[in-house]
Amino acid sequence: MHAVRWKKVFRDLASHRFRTVLVVLSIATGIFAVGVVMGGRAILLREFDSEFAASVPLNADFYTMPFSDPIVRRAREYPGVAEAMGRHSASLRYRWAGADAPRTLSLVAIKDYDDVTVQRIVPETVRSWPPKRGEIVLERAALQVGKYEIGDTLEVETRTGEKKILTVSGFAHDINAVPAQFVGSETGYVSFESLPDIGEAKSYNELLVAMTGTSLTQREASLLAENIKRDVLEENGITVLGVYVPKPGSHFLGDIFKAVSLLLLALGLLSLLLSGFLVVNTVSALMAQQIKQVGIMKAIGGRASQVTWMYLGMVAIYGVLAVLVGVPASAWAGQQFIEFAAGVLNFRVSSYVPPDWVTTLEVGVGLVVPLLAAIVPIRLGTRTSVVKALTQTGVDSAAFGHGLVDRVLGLLRGLPRPVALSLRNTFLRKGRLLLTLTTLSLASAVVMSVFSVQASINQTTDDLEDWWRYEAQVRYERQTDQAGTERIIKGTPGVTEVESWVGTTVTLDRPDGTTAEGLNLIGTPYDTTFIHPTMLAGRWLQVGDEDAVVVNTDARKSEPSLDLGQRVTVEVAGEKRVLRVVGVVKGQFGGSALYMNREALTVLLPESGITQTLIKMSFTDTASQRRALDEIETRLDDANYRVVSTRTTAQFREQIASELGILVAFLVIMAVLLAAVGVIGLTGTMTINVIESTREIGVMRAIGAQHGSIYQIFITEGLAVGFMAWLIGAAAAYPMSYGLVSLLSGAIGLPLSYHFSLTGVGSWLGIIAAISVLASVAPAFRASQVSVRDAIAYE
Amino acid sequence: MSQIATPGSSDGALLRLRSVFKVYDTGETPFTALKGIDLDVHTGEFVGIIGKSGSGKTTLINMITGIDHPTSGEIVIDGTPVHDLGENDLARWRGRTIGVVFQFFQLLPTLTVRENILLPMDFCHMWAPRERVDRAMDLLEQVELADQANKLPAALSGGQQQRAAIARALANDPPILAADEPTGNLDSKTADAVFGLFERLVEHHKTIIMVTHDNDMANRVRRALHVSDGEIIEERVHRPRAGA
Ligand SMILES: Nc1ncnc2c1ncn2[C@@H]1O[C@H](COP(=O)(O)OP(=O)(O)O)[C@@H](O)[C@H]1O
Ligand SMILES: [Mg+2]
């Protein structure tokens, strides 16, 4: 390696520091993007999966009337059951100094925190664990919603309307608890001893069961759950209020995870492609610059293969340097990314070390991709005949210079001389231009698509707004007197109109013989003005409908038998009823729902009374709406109506936006990365153009060109490329964003409303113009420093 | 005694060209730059090629060095049919047989003067690596540049750069040196020194073919070929001046 030709390679690297940095950065950007994205994805899935598996997720969750330890023991011994445990759960309203309105607490009480066998809970920062009497440990996702601190007090309202104090004594993590920011209620853990203090019985009312078998199907899990319900609970006189059987092995955020991981995969592949382009581009430019030296070396006895190896060696060195920069950088950024993801998706990370294959991939991207990308340009350079190499000034310019471009440019006579010259330069380096343009266009397309995805998400929430024609809603613990509650609510200042609905949970008989528990059946007036359903198929409810139901897309997705025209059997309040699906409406992020005429549903229920009240208000600002709703809750409380939750429509919209916001955040990360790749690519191209035009610049300086006009030339060139990339990118963004939105819709299981963001297209034009100018300034500065002497020395 | 080279009497010629044609493909009408060149050069000759700009001098010398291929005709140098060689064999052959000197010196800018001279030896695997440095220094002494060995080309004057380029052309001890206007970019005093260097090399049995448009130089070579419009139209032979 101490042969002279290798000395030349090292000297070239050292003496063209700017170029070396540029090429190394281009490759490192590829490594970085691939490393962050693929590594991030791998760590995300690995950490999430391992924590999820270690948590012993439940396969069936039974909500029941009180029971005690012998039942748990029986459940544990039941064939097919791996673990079973009982706990007490309750949903209570509470006030906290950090929030101006009452919030909902999903309370969990466990007898022995050292023996949690299903859905494990991990204490994180706790003053005492397990929680002592009078204390509560919050699930840490609460911190995403408010600034809870150890020592804060929560004023809990008991079932009998009394106010009791619980003191926050720490934070724990439960990967299976639905994070507070998604449901609008915080999960908290208390000891069994605290239960009587807050008006709850010291008994179990929830049975959690984990089943044996690693590849359990949903059907098997449902069947076993039904048997346990019958043999363990009902046989022993325990009434079961509801059963929840999740898809075995899947987390409730699984869909979001799938979407995020798909996005990351797409981004990873895209960055791989882009970094390949960047390398081809810079290496082609390098060869163009070195072509004369290649000719000289061949003239003094160098064989094409020897010269090829020299340049491959050079690229390999670039690769090694890029790996040294890119791998640690991506490890660092990957950790930031995972920390962010672990926060919003609420999981714990035990190791930030990416799997070996990711590191291998990064090294491959750093070494193999550049070499593969470089082979063609290097071979083209070293195969050029000696005469051509010695007489050539630029790439292909001779063949291209007198062609179409000059003729077209000749027509544009009005252009100022420097502008015409730079346009000509732009088109002359067509090969490089094509690659830079491809890179930048792709980046532009992705960025504009991201704008459109964001716009689509906004559109979706706007469409929700269109569905909801009310400002707030109140839900009651049980069926409640319609006239009484409506009178109180109507009497509250700001309320203009109210409507009462009744809801119940029903069990659906599936065609395969299993049942689906806990579907929401909602009775609404057929002529309601409080919602404006988005019909996807069939029709809405009509007067006189008795057995007709309209289902939403969530219900149809989880229970495919609920499709238009189908007759389905459901068990309502212990009686089997056959219902007819007459319409499908778009889901509202509120889960599965079946709608039927309120009067028809009331007939099927043993008790009379309503379960929720929808409220229209004259207030348009959310603060006043919230205050009015609090006043309503206080008045209902005073009249002894038991409220389980209240929410303003605006508040719910926020919640949904925050859930979808995760996707947007990931998309933004994606866009920023790609834009960075684009900037580096453009800077590289501009620099190489300057180097190649050294002679022209010298001549221009010799005939009196000022710094200003040289800046103008290169910045115009940069802008021309940026503008073309914007144009192509905008055209590509339409199909791309449409695809992306359908992909996301599929992944999260909800139809997003597509909206192409013209604002995004406009903003990107501004941004890319700024980027183009920035990318051209450094090269233009170099150009302005070229002296006439340098230019001539370049021959 | 006169040494007029006549076609046919080429036995023992180091370099032999027969009906060499070169046609450039320039878009619509092909351009014939060499129109059937016949030429013999013997070992130890110092041949000058003169002619107006555009007459085909560079094209001709590029045929000889194998830097470019003839469209038709034969070129045999030291027994090797150059016109038949592929790029790779040509490069190796050229490295050992012909030293090329360019008008613009063409030293590699990031290598020192000495390293520039080592490069052809490296490419052609000539000499044992440890001998190479000694040899490079010898060559630099011959061209009186030993004290500049570790400088980069940019730090040298034009004349010094051209002398370094000549030393590089001699690196593999080729029998033939081909130079295309080697003094074209030098002032007359430096040009003189470079010319003197060539004369000394001829004394040491090198064969030199040099393109020049300097008539004064042309008068000082032993044999001058006048090229016009792609043909050798005149040939002058001088007796050695110092009455050798
Ligand atoms: N690559 C080429 N393509 C087309 N024509 C060429 C090429 N190289 C040289 N020529 C033409 O061939 C003729 C001879 O050129 P050249 O050998 O360079 O002349 P000289 O060296 O005597 O000035 C000139 O008319 C020139 O324009
Ligand atoms: Mg010439």
C-alpha A782/C-alpha A558 separation (Å) is 62
If asked whether residues A398 and A386 sit together in one domain, one would say no
A209 pLDDT tier (thresholds 50, 70, 90) = very high
Contact A292 B122 (CB under 8 A): no
Burial (CB < 10 A; 0-12, 13-18, 19+), residue B147, is exposed
pLDDT > 60? residue A256:
yes
Query: What pLDDT was estimated at residue B11?
Result: 59
CB contact under 8 A, B91 and A302: yes
Q: Is residue A345 part of a domain?
A: yes
Residue among B20, B28, B31, B227 to mutate when testing ligand 1 (max atoms within 8 A of CB):
B31
Is 80 exceeded by the pLDDT of residue A388? no
Last residue of a domain, one of A215, A244, A273: A244
The answer, yes or no, to whether residue B27 has pLDDT greater than 70, is no
Is there a single domain that holds both residue A138 and residue A72?
yes
Q: How far is the CA of B226 from the centre of ligand 1 (A)?
A: 16
Report, as an integer, the average pLDDT of A6-15: 90
Of the pLDDT bands very low, low, confident and very high (cuts 50, 70, 90), residue A111 is very high
Give yes or no for residue A274 having a pLDDT over 80.
no
How distant is the Cα of A744 from the closest Cα of chain B, in angstroms? Answer: 54
- In whole angstroms, give the CA distance from residue B103 to residue B106: 8
For the CA of B60, the nearest atom of ligand 1: 17
Determine, yes or no, domain membership for A253.
no
Do A513 and A457 belong together in one domain? no
- Is residue A638 in a domain? no
Cβ-contact A136, A103 below 8 angstroms: no
pLDDT above 60: residue A404: no
Residues of A in contact with B129 (CB under 8 A): 3
For A495, the 3-state DSSP assignment is: strand
Q: Where among A392, A407, A427 does a domain terminate?
A: A392
Structural domain includes residue A403: yes
Residues B188-201: pLDDT tens digits?
888 888 888 889 88
pLDDT interval class at B144 (50, 70, 90): confident
From residue A71, how far is each of A13, A67, A119, A229 by CA, in Å?
Answer: 76, 7, 19, 11
Position B141: which residue type? E
The residue ranking higher by pLDDT, A271 or A740, is: A740
**Contact yes or no for B207/B177 (Cβ under 8 A):** yes
Q: In what helix (H) or strand (E) does residue A262 lie, and over which residues does it extend?
A: helix A254-299
Chain B residue numbers with beta carbons less than 8 Å from the beta carbon of A304 are 87-88, 91
What are the DSSP calls for A729-795, one per residue? HHHHHHHHHHHHHHHHHHHHTSPPPP---HHHHHHHHHHHHHHHHHHHHHHHHHHHH--HHHHHHT-
Give me the total of CB pairs closer than 8 Å, taking one residue from chain A and one from chain B.
86
Residue A328 pLDDT greater than 90, yes or no = yes
Q: Is residue A576 part of a domain?
A: yes
Q: Is the pLDDT of residue A696 over 70?
A: no
Residue A792: pLDDT over 70 = no
Q: What is the pLDDT of residues B37-85, one digit of tens each?
A: 999 999 999 999 998 888 999 999 999 988 888 999 999 998 889 888 8
Residue A417 is predicted with a pLDDT of 57
Number of domains observed in the structure of chain A: 4
Contact present, A88 and A190 (Cβ < 8 Å) = no
Which of B55, B71, B181 is the best mutation target for the ligand 1 pocket, counting ligand atoms within 8 Å of the beta carbon and taking the most?
A: B55
Query: Which residues from A are below 8 Å from B158, CB to CB?
Result: none
Tokens for B16, please give them.
């032999």
Where does residue A364 rank: exposed (0-12), middle (13-18), buried (19+ CB within 10 A)?
A: middle
For B21, phi and psi rounded to 5 degrees?
A: -115, 145
* A1 — pLDDT class (breaks 50, 70, 90): very low
Which of A38-42, A224-228, A520-524 bottoms out in mean pLDDT, i.e. has the lowest?
A38-42
Domain B45-61+86-237 classification at class level: alpha beta
In chain B, the residue whose alpha carbon lies closest to the alpha carbon of A293 is B108
For residues A485 and A418, membership in a common domain is answered with: no
Instruction: Tell me how close the Cα of B4 comes to any Cα of chain A, in angstroms.
Output: 31
Q: Is the pLDDT of residue A643 over 80?
A: yes
Residue A747: the pLDDT is 63
What is the arithmetic mean of pLDDT over A344-367?
Answer: 88
CA-proximal residue: ligand 1, atom 24 (nearest): B54
A656 lies in the same domain as A733? yes
The pLDDT, as a whole number, for residue A691 is: 67
pLDDT confidence of residue B21: 94
Kindly state whether residue A252 falls inside one of the protein's structural domains.
no
Question: In the structure encoding, which two tokens stand for residue A166, read together?
Answer: 């619980």
In A, which residues are within 8 Å of B67 by CB distance?
299, 385-387, 390
Residue A292, chain B, CB below 8 Å: the answer is yes
Distance CA A614, CA B225 (A): 107
Range A254-282 average pLDDT: 73
Question: Residues lining ligand 1, judged by CB closer than 6 Å?
Answer: B 24, 26, 31, 33, 51, 53-59
Please tell me the predicted confidence (pLDDT) of residue A399: 36
A221 and A102 in one domain? yes
Residue at which a domain ends, from A244, A272, A300:
A244
Q: B26 to chain A: nearest residue by CA?
A: A399
Let me know if residue A107 belongs to a domain: yes
Are B100 and A300 in contact (CB < 8 Å)? yes
**Which residues of chain A neighbour B92 with C-beta distances below 8 Å?**
301, 303
The pLDDT confidence band at residue A17, using thresholds 50, 70 and 90, is confident
Question: Does the pLDDT at position A664 exceed 80?
Answer: no
pTM: 0.71
A438 and A501, same domain (yes or no):
no
pLDDT of B147 higher than 90: yes
Neighbours of A172 (CB within 10 A): 22
Asked whether residue A189 falls in the same domain as residue A86, the answer is: yes
> Would you say B118 and B128 are in contact if contact means Cβ atoms under 8 Å apart?
no
Tell me: do A793 and A664 sit in the same domain.
yes
| pLDDT exceeds 50 at position A770 | yes
Q: What is the pLDDT of residue B1?
A: 38
Can you give the pLDDT at residue B23? 92
Whether residues A301 and A268 share a domain: the answer is: yes
| Boundaries of every domain in chain B | 45-61+86-237
Closest-CA distance of chain B to residue A13, Å: 10
Do A503 and A612 lie in one domain? The reply is yes
**Range(s) of the domain holding residue A372:** 1-57+262-392
- The angle subtended at Cα A620 by Cα A637 and Cα A585, nearest 5°, is 85
Per-residue pLDDT of A411-447, as tens digits, reads 555 556 556 555 655 555 666 677 778 878 888 888 8
Mean pLDDT, chain A, whole residue set? 84
Q: Quick check: A665 pLDDT over 90?
A: no
Is A790 found in the same domain as A673? yes
Contact yes or no for B62 and A12 at CB 8 A: no
